[in-house]
Each structure stands twice: as structure tokens, then as C-alpha cells.
Amino acid sequence: MWSGGASPETPTASSSPATRLPQEIINITIAYLTYDTHTLRACTLTCYSWYIAAVPHLHYALSIETRTLDQMFWRANPLWHMHTLGLLPLVRKLRVVDKNYPNFWFSKKLFNFRVLRPFLTFTNVRKLEIDFLDIPSFLPSIRRYFGHFPPTVQSLTLREPRGSRREIIYFIGLFQHLQNLKFSYDKPKLEEESADDPTLTPLFIPPLRGWLELSCFTRVDLLKDMIDLFGGIRFCYMYLYNVDGMRLLLDACAKTLKILVLNPADPRGE
């Protein structure tokens, strides 16, 4: 695949010292430009070796709006376009955003062949963030939709997830290498817990040795079940704001906790 610029076979390209550098040196040089999108795009036009070094940095992070998946039949679908170019395996940070809550949930009904097929090519994601995930809608075949993530995902962020305690824990337990976990709610609220399936046990016990972030979190029973089913939690860093069950968390991580961040204006500080 050639994106433009002089071909490496042309006299102009072969006479340039930049094209004769070892690939390792080029990779190190390009790595310093990670946050300079304009320069990275220019690098892709230099020669093929610079192109293959710069492209992964350009497509490191991707944000998808749920409504664009719902409207994919009558609008240009950028997800499908990136899939046809073979760029989705380059994504390391994936966020599924919903700006129209509560009108849209990230649920099974959004998936057909034009969504599922490219979605399954996110094979190198390290950090996964999902807004308003409707976990029950994916059961019992949830691994069909998320089974390609567990080998690589190390950080998981769920904003206002829908599901019972066991369903949420089952989803977390899909990621056998998960280190970092975040639950984000816009405001504290009392939720009626739906009936739990006692046979729904997590497939894996993730390490959970990184950071835990909770915001406006009131589901203490979820924390208790997670500690029970995972045989404890071992976070080293915690950021807690407006959280019920703070003492439970501190006791559970007493031997591993190194850094605790609290907000002095926290209305639920203990």
C-alpha cells in the first residue's frame, strides 16, 4: 500500500538519507511525534518506511458514537471505511461514546454484519471505554461480541452500565489481564437490582492490580460480590469520589494500596 510521495525506487527517494535509516531509528524518531498529528501525517508522505512507522501513532485512539452505528445504512460509516483500509487493528484505545442518552444504549441490536465484522478486528485494544453498555442484551452470547478483547485489554471504563451485579461482574471477568477499572456515574442514584442468575460466574479472575476509579458510585452490593467472586481485589491506586462503601474498599485493598486520592468536597467521604 502506498499513500503518496516519492516511491522508494525513484532516484529522489533513494538519494535521501532519511530513506536509508534503519527502521529501528525511524521508529524511535517517529515516537517523539506521538501528539503532533500534523507532522505525523507529513511523515506518512515521506517514504514507505516512514509511513509504516507513523500510521500506528495516527490511529492509536478511536472514538465511536453509538448513534452513528444506529444510522449506518443511510450515512457514511467511518468504522466500515477504516475496516476496509485495515486500520482497526492499529487502535490501542477505543471509546464508545453516547451523546444522546437515554435515547441510545450500546446494545446487541446495534450489531449487524456492517458493525460486527469491523468490530471484531479491534484485536489490539489496551484501553476500552464504553458509555451506557446494556450488558443483558448481549447475554448469553456476549463472547461473540467481546471475545476478541480479553487477550489485550488492561483498562476498562464503564459509564452508567446497565445490568445486575452478576451480569456486570461476568462482563468484567471476560478480561483475564484486566488491571485497571473505572465506573462512572453522572450522579448517585438508587437502582433496583434485577434478579441475579447464581450460575453466572466469571470466566476469569482478572489481576486488578492497577487503579480503581469510582465516581458517584452507590452499588455497594456489586463491590461485595466482586470481592467475593474474584477472591478479593488488589488495587494499588484508587480515586474515589461520592462513593458508598469506601471503608469496604479500603479494607479489601489494605495490603496493596499505595495511593489514595479523595476530594475534600466529597459529600460521602468517610
Q: DSSP alpha helices (H): ranges in the chain?
A: 11-14, 23-31, 37-44, 48-58, 66-70, 78-84, 113-119, 135-138, 142-146, 165-172, 220-229, 246-252
Statement: residue 94 has pLDDT above 50: yes
Percentage, residues of the chain above pLDDT 70:
83
Statement: residue 259 has pLDDT above 90: yes
Q: What confidence category does residue 40 fall into, taking pLDDT thresholds of 50, 70 and 90?
A: confident
What is the pLDDT of the chain when averaged over all its residues? 83
- Which fold is adopted by the domain 60-262? 3.80.10
Statement: residue 115 has pLDDT above 70: yes
State the pLDDT at residue 196.
Answer: 66
Question: What would the mean pLDDT of 259-265 be, rounded to a whole number?
Answer: 86
For the ranges 75-89, 162-176, 236-250, the lowest mean pLDDT is seen at: 75-89
Model pTM? 0.82
Ranges of CATH 3.80.10 domains, the chain: 60-262
